Structure 1
Amino acid sequence: MFHPLRVSDVERLTDDSVAVTFAVPPELRETFRHVPGQHLALRRHGVGGEEIRRTYSICSPAAPEGEAPVLRVGIRLVDGGEFSTYALKELAVGDTVEVMEPMGRFLLAPRPGRFAAIVGGSGITPVLSMASTLLAREPQARFCLIRSDRTAASTMFLDEVADLKDRFPDRFQLVTVLSREEQQSGLPSGRLDQERLAGLLPALLPVGEVDGWFLCGPLGLVVGAERALRGLGVDRGRIHQEIFHVDDGSAPAVRAAAVPAHATLTATLDGRSGTWPVQEGESLLETVLRSRSDAPYACKGGVCGTCRAFLVTGEVRMDRNYALESEETDAGYVLACQSHAVTPEVELDFDR
């Protein structure tokens, strides 16, 4: 469900990014109490009345029980991006934006242990919430942040990360790599690819003792980091990832199976079920949206996971999946925006 929230602050981070803070009224504090790593779906209507939805990760620490949540997201300008262009050029304090309650499964609840993150660009956003919450609440936790950016001027949340280094010098380790600019000290410039990470990580920290690895950013970085970690013997269950965008041509979609003649979809959403015919070429999310405009979705690109649903019966084929962990797909979950019917009858449950 979307809620209208007032913008209480818009802070320019870099030439192409801002941090937007929303005021949360008392009656919605529990609705918007987030776990570090979650994201928000934002909605507005364009000039022609078309609905525009985008997801952005929460960068603020999770509020302790009893305190009002601080709802702050990081937004980077995307070429041709309608919402990001609006956020950077028009959005102002006092404006109202429709916001869905926090969602996502790229999470780090505070607990003792050693944790590490490899991020690229705006992938720092959810990890900033993770690290700041963890270090403040759990004195027996350590966090290593390895971040890759193009240049120092394009680096988001410089001050916030520097503050973590000052507050927790013994428990927070920061490694910065710039791909297009030399640093006066630190690592040489260049991309953090699989080969480089495989050599770098063992020199930075005891890889086998890390309780959780969090990878976030462009597809190429995340895939390379996962392969490097797996090559170093890290168990798949300790690796968590979230894709922020998919590079063009880097991962072609799987050709979806043709929709069977007279295929039907039954879906349960917010306790109500319905059955509808599946039209040729449409995803199952599109089938639901023709009759239920309240069906959950944001990116429609297989990245955010907002449209996750449980496959009760039938068989589907997904075009892309950058949001669900293998454990989730094994358990029967699919992305409705990427799923096409393979069998004549399919049933999805959005409530599980």
Structure 2
Amino acid sequence: MFHPLRVSEVERLTDDSVAVTFAVPPELHETFRHTPGQHVALRRFVAGEEIRRTYSICAPAVAAPAAPVLRVGIRLVEDGAFSTYALKELAVGDAVDVMPPTGRFVLEPRAGHFAAVVGGSGITPVLSMAATLLARAPEARFCLIRGDRTVASTMFLDEVADLKDRYPDRFQLVTALSREEQQSGLDSGRLDRERLAGLLPALLPVADVDGWFLCGPLGLVQGAEAALKELGVGRGRVHQEIFHVEDGTAAVSDRQAAAVPAGAVLTATLDGRSGNWPVQEGESLLETVLRARSDAPYACKGGVCGTCRAFVVSGEVRMDRNFALEPEETDAGYVLACQSRPATPEVELDFDR
């Protein structure tokens, strides 16, 4: 369910990014209280067309009775319908439809040693994680390895520097620039698998890290995941969220996408109400539900945000691509409805589980 919230601040971070803060009225404080790492979906209508985009919350999480701070980072995407609007038009006082926080790429504050490898705007959810963890868990430590193109393109530069100043003994920061030399620190270059496999053991005791959080473009996350596997880190300690999946990545052919069993029917439960509808050729199961239920949850429709996660009660489905669900989730029977198509004549999904 979306709620219209007023913009209370638009802060320019770099030439191509902003941080947008929304005013949350008292009656919605608990609705918009987030866990560090979660995101929200934003919605606007252009010429009658609905546009939804997902953005991570960068502010620290606060406990009741303090008012939640709803602040998101938005980076300009070429020809992006929402990001262009956010950078060029959005102003204080404007109302934007916002969905309550969601997402499972989270870090609940607790004692331990944690680390993150991020690229570009992937810093956004990790900033919330690190700031909340260090403030609430005095015994916790956090290591941030971040990659950016140049200093000028680095989002939340001041906020990260402030964490380093406030927690010099518990917050470790390593920055790699791919298009600019630094006076100190790492040589310029991308954070790929080979580089990370050599770098990480030199920075921290890899085996003793309680949780690894990888966030950024697909290539960086895949490279970091491969490096950690090479270093013997178990999959259960690695968490990831993908930003900026290139068009065509893991795409399926038109013939595959259109292959629907004859007479296929979808039964779906959403907010306690069930219905069943025929699945048309070429459409995903999410699109089937949306024809009858406009309140079906979704944001990106690209297999990245995980908003449309549903449990397969019966039948079989195939996912075209998945960049949001962990292996243990798919093993348990969860799928992304936006990327799922029926593999059997009858399929039942539950969006409420």
Where 2:281 maps in the other structure, the secondary structure is: coil
- Cα deviation digits, residues 228-267 of structure 1 (max 9, x gap): 0010000000000000111345544474471000000000
Which residue is 1:218 aligned to?
217
What secondary structure, in the 3-state scheme, does the structure 2 residue paired with 1:173 have?
strand
Aligned residues of 1:135 and 1:171 also touching (Cα < 8 A): yes
Equivalent residue number for residue 284 of structure 1:
285
Which aligned runs of 4 or more in structure 1 are off by greater than 6 angstroms?
A: none
Contact 1:257 1:341 in 2 (8 A): no
| CA shift in 2, pair 1:309/1:250, >3 Å | closer
Distance across 2 between alignment mates of 1:248 and 1:72: 28
Any idea what the Cα deviations from partners look like across 1:33-79, whole Å, max 9, x if unmatched?
00000000000001x11000000000000012211100000000000
Structure 2 residues not aligned, in runs of 5+:
none
| Identity in percent | 83
Q: Secondary structure at the match of 1:176?
A: strand
> Which residue does the alignment assign to 2:158?
159
Matches for 1:71-90 after TM superposition, within 5 Å: 71-90=70-89
TM-score by length of structure 2 reads: 0.98
Partner AA of 2:133 in structure 1: L
1:33 equivalent to 2:44? Answer no
Conserved? CA contact 2:149–2:178, under 8 Å? yes
**1:277 and 1:287 in contact (8 A); partners too:** yes
Contact 2:317 2:344 (8 Å CA) reproduced: yes
Does structure 2 conserve the Cα–Cα contact (< 8 Å) formed by 1:257 and 1:342? no
The residue that corresponds to 2:191 in the other structure is 192
Q: Which residue of 1 aligns with 2:259?
A: 258
What is the CA–CA distance in structure 1 between the aligned matches of 2:274 and 2:136, rounded to whole Å?
A: 42
**1:121–1:156 Cα contact (<8 Å) kept:** yes
Distance in structure 2 (CA, Å) of the matches to 1:250 and 1:244: 13
1:2-151 alignment runs, 5 A limit: 2-46=2-46, 48-151=47-150
Whichever residue aligns with residue 329 of structure 2, its letter is E
Where in structure 2 are the equivalents of 1:295-334 lying within 5 Å? Answer: 295-334=296-335
Counterpart amino acid of 1:286? E
Structure 1 spans left out of the alignment, 5+ residues: none
Change (3 A) 1:7 1:284: same
Per-residue Cα deviation, 1:73-107 (whole angstroms, up to 9, x for no partner): 00000001100000000000000000000000000
Distance across 1 between alignment mates of 2:299 and 2:5: 18
Q: Are the counterparts in 2 of residues 257 and 317 from structure 1 also a CA contact under 8 Å?
A: no
Q: Which string of whole-angstrom CA distances, capped at 9 and with x for unpartnered residues, describes residues 284-329 of structure 1? A: 0000000000000000000000000000000001011000000000
- Separation of aligned partners in 2, 1:238 and 1:304: 20
